[in-house]
């Protein structure tokens, strides 16, 4: 087995782009920032303390929910796919 090189990830992402990854096309077509104001308004929740992990970005979570809906994944399966698939990692 070969050791991963410095540019392996970049090469693999380019191959995904050239293969017609629909998620890249979706990202090119949609201006995600248009949703930020509404998403953050919905998500407003006063934190009782500064302890613990900070919440994930609202746009990131919105994209995750769209992936879950498009691919009909459970929460556990979605988490696995995000960790496993390069196209979902982006």
Q: pLDDT tens-digit profile of 16-60?
A: 667 677 777 888 899 999 999 999 998 877 777 788 888 889 999
What residues does each domain of the chain span?
10-41+56-89
Length of the chain: 90
Per-residue confidence (pLDDT) for residue 7, from 0 to 100: 66
The 3-state secondary structure of the chain, one letter per residue: CCCCCCCHHHHHHHHHHHCCCHHHHHHHHCCHHHHHHHHHHHHCCCCCCCCCCCCCCHHHHHHHHHHHHHCCCCHHHHHHHHHHCHHHHC
Per-residue confidence (pLDDT) for residue 27, from 0 to 100: 84
Chain-wide mean pLDDT for the chain?
Answer: 83
The pTM for the full model equals: 0.71
Per-residue pLDDT tens for 48-77?
778 888 888 999 999 999 989 988 999 999
């Amino acid at each position: 087995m070969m050791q991963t090189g410095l540019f392996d990830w970049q090469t693999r992402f380019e191959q995904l782009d050239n293969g017609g990854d629909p998620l890249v096309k979706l990202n090119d077509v949609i201006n995600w920032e248009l949703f930020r104001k509404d998403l953050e308004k919905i998500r407003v929740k006063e934190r009782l303390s500064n302890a613990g992990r900070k919440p994930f970005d609202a746009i990131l979570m919105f994209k995750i929910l769209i992936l879950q809906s498009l691919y009909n994944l459970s929460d556990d399966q979605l988490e696995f796919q995000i960790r496993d698939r390069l196209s979902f990692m982006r």
